[in-house]
Chain A
Amino acid sequence: MRFGPLVVTFLTGATLIAIFFIPHHRAQETQSIILEWADVVYAFALVLGSLTLWTMHQKKVRQRGEGWFYSAVTLVSLAGMTILGVVQGVSADTVVGRVYNMVNAPLASTMFSLLAFFIASAAFRAFRARNVEATLLLVTAIVMMIGRVSIGEFIWKGFPPLTEWLLDVPNLAAKRAVALGIGLGAISTALKIILGIDRSYLGRG
């Protein structure tokens, strides 16, 4: 039985729940300290994670497995950025800063922009009038797609108010219902873990 982690989980969870109800400045400072500890733990885990990454890709390069060249690029990038970051810092005028702004930033923007293409293909496949519910979804989707852009107003002045109504009434009602379920589910999951009912995160079912 892993008694230690269970005690730590219970004490931390119970303390944070208590702090939620205690506005005393000491309690709030304690919360800040606990959150800072979480940052410190994260830093250690980041080192551990990076070592796993290194080991995995190093193995691939050694064995010349499929795509080993990409693993080599990963290793060089990881080592290079880490060393330069520690030596030079990470501000905008350093190598790390420049690489981040000139390589990472455009790559991330490009990746995100692909979302439009995926949305279009998913919408084409999913919005089919198979039954009454699907037809309702289809009609709503079309009204929303047209009403939420400038051209919607051109076509019919009523589109923008109709989309606002759809967002404010049926959409919000459904969202609140789902959010209520999620909120209670979150409380339930948190209590399961704090009280040690669910220990599968420790490797115990």
Chain B
Amino acid sequence: MGETLDTRWFDPARLNLLLGLLTFVAFLAINIRRAHSSKAGLFIRPIAGLKALDEAIGRATEMGRPVLYIPGIGDMSEVGTLAAITISSRVARRTADLGCDLRIPCYDPVVAALIDGTTREAYREANRADAYRAGSVYYVSATQFAYVASVTGTMLRDRPAANIYMGSFYAESLFMAETGNLTGAIQIAGCDQVTQLPFFVCSCDYTLLGEELYAASAYLGREPNQLATIAAQDWAKALAAAAVVLALILSALGHPEFGRLLRTS
């Protein structure tokens, strides 16, 4: 019983994916070069939700209330969580600069440990290491609704002036966003789970849709290499859209072979 052991060193059914990945890496290399050679830098369209981050942190500082940053309930294997960690570092830098209280309740202990490190570093870089309060980044619970109860409790008790949701969210999204809406906080969300986006759109002032979450770190950092990744992503998207349209036309004309090449296994 059981499968015979596979001894192949390459899966030919994944050749199209390998070519796609190599194309993406090539786009990235070209755009890194472009970013460094261009004096004006690469253009990246403004993202309203990210522009509002400064406003939200500024408002919290003026009101003397904390900023609550919620990095989702994904673990480190989810790209949305990686994006949440990088954005938290940028947010921490702003709160450190402005002297605003920042609180980050975490669902995953690994994520908590990483965000604690990046936040400390952000305060150190802002020459405000003394302002970093131990315990401002804390692990709550890896149980979904225990986490929700804790976060919504913090919202109702401490009345943060700004709630920032960034990362992978599931059924808890609406609980937290509606509670935040009730407290009157400015709410900015970014989520890569398509099914949760409508909930954030309903309850938040600004929502980063899907890939905008991934672009946020580059947008906030403005480093040429990071901006190059956004440009490469756009090129890849244009190529993918062109391939889909071409496959559609060829299939309609009775040549489905190209469409089959795009299939994954």
Q: Judge: A and B partners, yes or no.
A: yes
Could you list which residues of chain A lie within 8 angstroms of chain B, going by C-beta atoms? 17, 20-25, 28, 38, 41-42, 45-50, 52-53, 55-56, 59, 66-67, 104, 107-108, 111-112, 114-115, 118-119, 121-123, 125-126, 175, 178-182, 184-193, 197-198, 200-205
Q: Which residue of A lies closest to B174 (CB)?
A: A118
Instruction: List 12 additional contacts besides A24-B8, A28-B6, A122-B199; criterion CB under 8 Å.
Output: A49-B112, A108-B145, A122-B203, A182-B211, A184-B236, A185-B79, A185-B213, A185-B215, A188-B236, A192-B217, A202-B118, A203-B120
Taking CB atoms and an 8 Å cut-off, the chain B residues in 23-39 that contact chain A are 24-25, 28
Contact B117 A178 (CB under 8 A): no
Of B45-53, B56-64, B218-226, B252-260, the one with at least 4 CB within 8 A of chain A = B218-226
Contact B93 A205 (CB under 8 A): yes
CB-CB < 8 A to B125: which residues of A? 203, 205
Q: Which residue of A lies closest to B6 (CB)?
A: A23
Q: Which residue of A lies closest to B144 (CB)?
A: A108
Assembled-state Cα–Cα distance A184/B122 (Å): 28
Q: Decide yes or no whether B233 CB sits under 8 A from chain A.
A: yes
**How many whole Å from A155's CB to the nearest CB in chain B?**
24
Contact A186 B192 (CB under 8 A): yes
Assembled-state Cα–Cα distance A95/B5 (Å): 44
CB-CB < 8 A to B214: which residues of A? 182, 185-186, 188-189
Contact A187 B211 (CB under 8 A): no
Question: B225 touches which one: A42, A104, A175, A197 (CB < 8 A)?
Answer: A197
CB-CB < 8 A to A45: which residues of B? 108-110, 112-113
Contact A181 B211 (CB under 8 A): yes
Question: A201 touches which one: B7, B86, B106, B142 (CB < 8 A)?
Answer: B86
How many A-B pairs have beta carbons closer than 8 Å: the answer is 199
CB-CB < 8 A to B82: which residues of A? 189-190, 193, 201
**How many whole Å from A184's CB to the nearest CB in chain B?**
5
Could you list which residues of chain B lie within 8 angstroms of chain A, going by C-beta atoms? 5-11, 14, 17-18, 21, 24-25, 28, 75-77, 79, 82-83, 85-86, 89-90, 93, 106, 108-110, 112-114, 116-118, 120-122, 124-125, 135, 138-140, 142-146, 148-149, 157, 171, 174-175, 178, 192, 194, 197, 199, 201-203, 209-211, 213-215, 217-218, 221, 223, 225-226, 228-230, 232-233, 236-237, 240-241
Contact B139 A200 (CB under 8 A): no
Contact B118 A104 (CB under 8 A): no
Q: Which residue of A lies closest to B83 (CB)?
A: A189
Q: Which residue of A lies closest to B203 (CB)?
A: A122
